[in-house]
Structure 1
Amino acid sequence: MTQTTAVPQHIITAADALLGPFGVNIRQLLAAPASEPQQLTKKYLTVAEAEKYYSVGRWMIWRAARAGKLHTVKPNGNGRQGRVLIDKASLDAWLESKQPEA
């Protein structure tokens, strides 16, 4: 159940004055229906993206990656620094294996 509250008129007027010169119509944005959640179609995710889309902790992801349960890729080489990408399919499979049996 979601609860919505009306935005006070003075806030809308102030936002319109601030954002209007940049081409943003705040009244139109507020009147638009809420959009559907975006589907995740990427093959590889950053740790932050995995945290956000799957609602799991960063350290849980890192421990699974270190244990070899997730396929990871380092596009900038194998050094200690740099971005780590996680294969979405391996993350899906790992999370599915963590589901309790019914």
Structure 2
Amino acid sequence: MNVLCSRLLVLNGTMKLMLLALGVFLLLAVGEALDCYQCVPLPGQSGCDRRSVTCSPTQSFCGTKTSKSDPSYQQRNCMNHQDCEQHQFSTYNVKCCQSNNCNS
């Protein structure tokens, strides 16, 4: 009986250690949200006020979209992977990056 109880205690301690390791891993995996510059000019304007914003967890890229017909028109914003891929063949040239405020 003593052997069984000591094995259960060891297993319980091992499970606690595994749960702790899993918790630490999840905290590191989630990490901090990405910060990107946001700049969306109004129609007819060539510039805008660029400011840094915190992206949502689903947006893991900073992006810059430049109009192919008017290269002076640029948008900067948080984007998801689909946003980066989707615009490559549209009327915009898109550059995406994954570090804080890399879309300057």
Tell me if both proteins adopt one fold, taking TM over 0.5 as the criterion. no
Normalising to structure 2: TM-score of the pair?
0.17
Report which of the two has the higher share of helix: 1
Larger strand percent: 2
Larger radius of gyration between Structure 1 and Structure 2 = 2
Q: TM-score by structure 1 length?
A: 0.18
